A = this chain, B = another copy of it.
Amino acid sequence: MSTFSRFTPLACSLPAIVPFVGPEAIERQRGLPIRARIGANESGFGPSPRVVSALAAASQDIWKYSDPENFGIRTALAAHHGLKPEQFAIGEGIDALLGLIVRLVIEPGLPVVTSLGGYPTFNFHVNGFGGRLVTVPYVNDREDLEGLLAAVKREDAPLAYLANPDNPMGSWHTAEDVIAFARALPDTCLLILDEAYGETAPAGVIPPADALIDLPNVLRMRTFSKAYGLAGARVGYAIGTPGTISAFDKIRNHFGMARSSVVGALAALEDKNYLTEVVAKIADARARIAAIAENNGLKPLPSATNFVAVDCGRDATFARAVVDGLMQHGVFIRMPGVAPLNRCIRISAGLPADLDLLEQALPQVLKGLR
């Protein structure tokens, strides 16, 4: 293959990959449409009707670049969280912001602490900037706060990642414990506190907005991709001190936000009733996924997210066979990538019709495997 000969040594060392195989790729491979799309922790409940109206009203304006300062959405988020606009940075999903943070902090060889089996896209960015991943195993399917803290200190790591609630396990720590963890970190370590699933967490899991806002070494990440039902819009945001937040302006793609995405996010933020309704539906769906799992002899793990990790009780090969078997029935789910988490499968909350398909397919798949 004919390739430019002078990419950086770091670039040459990286694999050319797509970190998550998308459901569309599976559809193309199988030649069949997916019938239940409950694998990517999207929200099949969809966006608020207000979002749909706002998008329609804004579509003629697509010829205009979006405001590079993201003033409107930052102001709305500030009001929503009871903070100031300069405490918010906006990006093309949390994924984009993760890449920017790694770039701001990591030079080749520097250690980055995360959990073994934690969010792969974060690891992708760490590898992409030549960072050295230092991983801490989960304990009882939860990220290990003590272990993470010890690793940061031992390695003098400038960057650490914690998801609360957690993906892929759905587990969580209390706000109190997370606050204590953040405050115990050396101020030379930037903590990425990924709260992508914050809207679906029960009370007492997400620290209050002002609980960590004095710490320049903490960036809290939120998104419209999960409970708000706007994964396709790509709107994520970081919350931090104005000084730390301003660092994004050094390197971000200022004109990177799609105009309609920002419009959609604003409309979603305004429709609090819809969010409340969806969060209730997600809780119902979690309960039903748990019941389906139990009825099939599998063990659902408690979840504070919009998905349920289900312990299949055997090894990764078995879990993979369940994932592949469900796909044969048009049911798209995913599974964790690393032992011991990969004894589980991960099923996203979906519409009743989606879970009907799961309920029908799962016993057949398991029967075929036993």
Contacts and interface: CB of A to CB of B under 8 A. Distances in A.
Interface string A251-281: 1011111111100100000000000000000
A104 to B, nearest CB: 5
A2 B214 contact: yes
A2 B43 contact: no
A318 to B, nearest CB: 27
Given A4-B217, A4-B247, A251-B128, A232 B93 contact: no
Interface string A299-335: 0000000000000000000000000000000000000
Given A47-B63, A52-B60, A62-B47, A71 B11 contact: no
A4 B68 contact: no
A67 interface: yes
B71 A24 contact: yes
Interface in A216-232: 216-217, 225, 229-232
Contacts of A264: 62
Interface in A126-169: 128, 158
A232 B261 CA distance: 9
B11 A254 contact: no
Interface of A: 1-8, 11, 14-20, 22, 24-25, 28, 37, 40, 42-47, 51-52, 55-56, 59-69, 71, 92-93, 95-96, 99, 103-107, 121, 128, 158, 187-190, 214, 216-217, 225, 229-234, 241-244, 246-251, 253-261, 264
A336 to B, nearest CB: 18
Contact of A8 (B96, B105, B244, B258): B105
